[in-house]
Structure 1
């Protein structure tokens, strides 16, 4: 079994801001070799793009009409919307297997949920808290992708969550046993 104490803190390379008063970065408009991305087929590029931009807060980094829409929020949060190639790609069950988890900050959850509900009233579940110290909302997009926006909640070492994390080797940043946050 691997333990968190064998790893090291590398938060400086993450675009995710840390702390309870963290401020979300602006969308990242630089061009880079993407270390990971999600490709989602859709029957309606325009409607899907509108939902991802107006509801989820992505920007249309670039588009090739009728072929691809490259969406982005923060650095390394890239989504490619592409036309569904056949009936199987276009079926809701094809996209509904896609699950995307997007980091955000706490004060973004309500505005994203509200924007998505304005576009599609039944598209959002939450917010809800998880056992691993996040508050999340779950959104189902027009093409059926499941997108979870997840924000870190403040770390409290003497809470049930803090004790549960410590029991598997994850300690607070000021803990002498190794501060992985």
Structure 2
């Protein structure tokens, strides 16, 4: 049997929930939730559901987390009636973005948009599946610790080691 790596405790009557996980890591998967009122949504997720605010880009995005691998991005905006009801992001590496786009476009022409560079230092490809789910393949970019981008990320609370 392999090592148990889940942040979820083994089922037991006396199981104790772990504390919210505040360290930074490459997120394998996360959901994105459009919020009409970002402050009210953030308050609900934190006080109601027990998430913590890892960092916020004012008026644009709040990155919330509960346990390890329970990440939610609240983004400012309304859910468009035509837009997919589900938006989930999966991590990949930079070298996979173009091949994923090509394969998806071959299967369903016009189903992709991007890739585009995001302010949180990733390249993202958006794919709308035949079920109308919005899937974002996201690849982190390397960060030069001496760059302006590193300074921007530090300013919003993301730990970037000094160069």
**TM-score relative to the length of structure 2:** 0.49
Identify, as 1 or 2, the structure richer in strand.
2
Identify, as 1 or 2, the structure richer in helix.
1
